[in-house]
């Protein structure tokens, strides 16, 4: 490499995106206007807008016409709390609609240091290739010696100092529909981005340390906002729980409310469930921090499992690759997690698929040796999926494809092809609506109402009241947050620690949220987010403009999906959750989806079949 160039300061963003043609081995520069920045912010929003302008409906997700757009947010590269995130958007081979994935780690910050806000990948290389991005250029390197290596082996073989990488494993190379992409010890997990990279013969993207240093446009203003944000984070109960126990802090309240997926969402609890709680894992596995930069929450942890110090499995992994398979020993779940991390598999979809296969085997629909509660067979099955061996070739297509082929659709726990996360919505009706209408499928993070229904307890979980209003609000809010890009976990502190919310008694707050949701939503103070955006970018952005941008981003994604054929019939839940109570639930709860969905459509401005109405698109400038 050439000698390092002098460091140059840039205020917030250079508004440049690198478009890379893998077929022609060329690249060009695309400029981002201030109007687009205001309307779509960055990250997910700007990525979706560029995808919408370039990707025709009906494109084969694994064909060379699919695109991958990787975007940073305005906060990337700064010292803003929990801003070490970036976003990827693409057409998903698992769902065959628009896929999106958010990731922590330092790749986005490093890309930004080269003066690029994002990259667009198009075409297909004729042979395996690795991209090296350094300042104003990209270089193409033969990846023949990397092809076939697992993620750790590939990262070690690349082995360049001062670099950050995106790498796929064998699952991506073999086009497993839920293959992920590793960014250090973090992952672009959902929707099969790894398979899209594999289809393009792209093994890795390497970003070198660039010459640019990101500084806020208004430095003093930024410092004051940052100080206040960190103050809120450091006193917020949810933030402190995650700091102490990682995302497994969610396990205890979920177990208490009988919402833990056990044996493919057949039960909501189990006598051994406590083993996967953050408190027990911390005590038994000597955990310590292993987090993104810059972070103020420290939810990422490592610990001792099976004699090695490795990543503590996230709550979703503990639930989907653990309890939903009848496994409760964190050491066993850690083994499964490490296989997925090495081979490049999304743990949620892998677990959801294996759970379907276990039940289908039990019911005689397929013949496998997979059984609930037996770990040895799981290890082999995960390897078979990644390597397309035996029945693994079928499992590599995901649970929806399996249920379409072998029957058993009622217990394929997926929406729009995406396997469901670890919160059984029969214990949180708002989460049920959130899963059903989430743009990318059964995504818990699209609106995450379960946080208010169960984790914090501000909304009554088993009622439909106020759920459509809050699902819609949080969809808009989180779309904006994922476009800044900043960690969604900051929402607990940056909204609940503000003066009005903190000074309002819990019972009063709960009453207003449950009974007057429009007033409650209007009183939510999320102003620190647009203030951070403005202080860094120099672009004035009000709270109203911020939340409207979030709405615009969400509706654009919905429009893109309806252009791919999504309709009301797709905004549903697995039949098990609508008509079959958990076997251990004395209340026999089911998700009353239809009544919530009807009101949600009306609030959203969709027609009766779920399509955004023309007046809504015109209002948002889409």
Please tell me the total count of domains within the chain: 3
Q: Scan for tokens 């209003």, then name that residue.
A: 469
Report residue 547 as tokens: 């939340």
11-64: pLDDT as tens digits: 888 899 999 999 999 999 999 999 999 999 999 999 999 999 999 999 999 999
Same domain for 132 and 164? yes
In this structure, the answer to whether residues 320 and 376 fall within a common structural domain is: yes
Could you tell me the CATH number of the domain that includes residue 352? 1.10.569.10
Contact 577, 424 (CB under 8 A): yes
pLDDT at 3 over 60: no
The confidence band for 515, taking pLDDT boundaries of 50, 70 and 90, is: very high
How much is the pLDDT for 2?
A: 46
162-191 average pLDDT score:
96
Regarding whether 492 and 415 lie in a shared domain, the answer is no
Instruction: Band the pLDDT of 592: cuts 50, 70, 90.
Output: very high
d(CA 178, CA 175): 8
Choose one of 419, 444, 460: the last residue of a domain.
419
Burial environment of residue 206 by CB neighbours within 10 A (0 to 12, 13 to 18, 19 or more): buried
Confirm whether 224 is domain-assigned.
no
pLDDT value, residue 552 = 98
The stretch 214-222 carries a mean pLDDT of: 95
- Give the pLDDT confidence score for residue 161 in this predicted structure: 79
Query: Hey, what long-range contacts does 25-31 have (CB within 8 A, 24 or more apart)?
Result: 25/125, 25/140, 27/137, 27/138, 30/120
- Same domain flag for 156 and 77: yes
* Three-class SS of 108-173: HHHHHHCCCCEEEEECCCCCCEEEEEECCEEEEEECCCCCCCCHHHHHHHHCCCCEEEEECCHHHH
Q: Which domain holds residue 21?
A: 8-215
Q: Is the pLDDT of residue 217 over 60?
A: yes
CATH at 555:
1.10.599.10
- Cis ω on the peptide bond leading into residue 485 (within 30° of 0)? yes
- Check whether 540 has a pLDDT greater than 80: yes
Say what the pTM is: 0.96
> Does the pLDDT of residue 290 top 90, yes or no?
no
Residue 429 near residue 110, CB atoms below 8 Å: no
Q: Which of 368, 392, 419 is the last residue of a domain?
A: 419
Going by pLDDT thresholds of 50, 70 and 90, the confidence category of residue 4 is low
**616-to-41, 548, 610, 612 alpha-carbon distances in Å:** 20, 12, 13, 7
Residue 478 in any domain: the answer is: yes
Pair 593, 448 in one domain: yes
Instruction: Report the percentage of the chain scoring pLDDT > 90.
Output: 95
Indicate if the pLDDT at residue 5 is higher than 70: no
Last residue of a domain, one of 215, 248, 279: 215
188 DSSP β-pair partners: 181
Do residues 431 and 380 both lie within one domain? no
Instruction: Return the bridge partners of 68, or none.
Output: 90, 121
Angstrom distance (rounded) from CA 37 to CA 572? 34
pLDDT, average across residues 323-347: 98
Rounded to 5°, angle at Cα 177 from 65 and 418? 105
258: left (phi over 0), alpha (psi -120 to 50) or beta: left
Residues 428-452 have a mean pLDDT of: 97
Range of lowest pLDDT (220-234, 295-309, 363-377)? 295-309
Beta partners for residue 31, in sequence order: 16
Whether the per-residue pLDDT at 1 is higher than 80: the answer is no
Portion of the chain with pLDDT greater than 70, in percent: 99
Q: Verify that 374 and 245 share a domain, yes or no.
A: yes
Beta pairing class for 414-415 and 181-183: unpaired
Cα separation, 196 vs 184, whole angstroms: 19
Q: Are residues 275 and 361 in the same domain?
A: yes
Residue 133 lies in a domain: yes
Considering the chain, what is the average pLDDT of its residues? 96
How far is residue 518's CA from residue 224's CA, in Å, rounded to a whole number?
31
């Amino acid at each position: 490499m050439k000698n390092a160039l002098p460091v140059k300061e840039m205020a917030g963003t250079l508004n440049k995106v690198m478009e890379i043609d893998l077929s022609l081995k060329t690249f060009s520069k695309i400029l981002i206007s201030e109007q687009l920045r205001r309307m779509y912010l960055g990250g997910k929003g700007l990525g979706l807008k560029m995808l919408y302008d370039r990707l025709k409906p009906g494109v084969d997700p694994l064909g060379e016409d699919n695109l991958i757009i990787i975007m940073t947010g305005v906060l990337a590269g700064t010292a803003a709390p929990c801003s070490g995130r970036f976003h990827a958007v693409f057409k998903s081979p698992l769902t065959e609609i628009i896929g999106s994935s958010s990731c922590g780690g330092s790749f986005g910050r490093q890309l930004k240091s080269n003066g690029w806000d994002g990259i667009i990948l198009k075409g297909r290389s004729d042979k395996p290739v690795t991209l090296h991005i350094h300042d104003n250029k990209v270089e193409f390197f033969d990846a023949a010696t990397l092809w076939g290596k697992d993620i750790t082996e590939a990262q070690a073989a690349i082995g360049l100092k001062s670099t950050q990488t995106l790498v796929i494993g064998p699952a991506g190379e073999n086009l497993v529909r839920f293959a992920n992409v590793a960014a250090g010890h973090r992952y672009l997990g959902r929707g099969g981005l790894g398979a899209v990279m594999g289809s393009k013969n792209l093994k890795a993207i390497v970003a070198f340390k660039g010459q640019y240093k990101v500084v806020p446009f208004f430095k003093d203003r930024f410092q004051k906002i940052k100080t206040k944000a960190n103050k809120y984070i450091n006193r917020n109960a949810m933030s402190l729980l995650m700091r102490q126990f990682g995302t497994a802090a969610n396990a205890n309240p979920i177990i208490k409310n009988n919402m833990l997926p056990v044996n493919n969402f057949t039960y909501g609890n189990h006598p051994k469930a406590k083993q996967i709680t953050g408190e027990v894992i911390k005590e038994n596995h000597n955990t310590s921090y292993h987090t993104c930069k810059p972070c103020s929450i420290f939810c990422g942890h490592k610990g001792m499992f099976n004699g090695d110090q490795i990543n503590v499995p996230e709550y979703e992994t503990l639930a989907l690759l653990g309890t939903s398979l009848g496994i409760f020993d964190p050491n066993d779940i850690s083994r499964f997690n490490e296989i997925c991390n090495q081979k490049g598999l999304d743990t949620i979809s892998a677990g959801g698929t294996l759970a379907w296969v276990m039940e289908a085997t039990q019911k005689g629909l397929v013949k496998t040796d997979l059984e609930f509660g037996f770990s040895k067979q799981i290890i082999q099955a995960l390897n078979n999926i990644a390597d397309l061996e035996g029945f693994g070739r079928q499992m590599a297509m995901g649970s929806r494809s399996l249920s379409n082929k072998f029957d058993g659709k009622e217990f394929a726990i997926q929406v729009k092809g995406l396997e469901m996360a670890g919160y059984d919505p029969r214990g949180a009706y708002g989460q049920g609506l959130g899963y059903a209408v989430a743009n990318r499928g059964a995504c818990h993070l699209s609106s995450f109402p379960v946080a208010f229904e169960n984790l914090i307890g501000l909304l009554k979980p088993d009622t439909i009241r106020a759920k459509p209003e809050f699902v819609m609000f949080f969809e808009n809010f989180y779309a904006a947050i994922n476009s800044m890009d900043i960690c969604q976990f900051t929402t607990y502190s940056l909204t609940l620690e503000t003066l009005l919310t903190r000074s309002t008694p819990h019972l009063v707050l709960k009453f207003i949220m449950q009974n007057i949701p429009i007033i409650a939503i209007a009183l939510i103070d999320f102003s620190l987010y647009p203030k951070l955006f403005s202080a860094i970018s120099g672009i004035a952005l009000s709270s109203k403009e911020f939340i409207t941008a979030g709405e615009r981003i969400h509706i654009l994604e919905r429009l893109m999906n309806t252009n791919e054929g999504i309709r009301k019939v797709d905004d549903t839940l697995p039949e098990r959750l609508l008509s079959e109570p958990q076997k251990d639930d004395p209340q026999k709860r089911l998700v009353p989806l239809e009544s919530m969905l009807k009101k949600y459509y009306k609030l959203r401005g969709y027609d009766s079949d779920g399509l955004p109405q023309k007046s809504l698109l015109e209002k948002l400038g889409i």
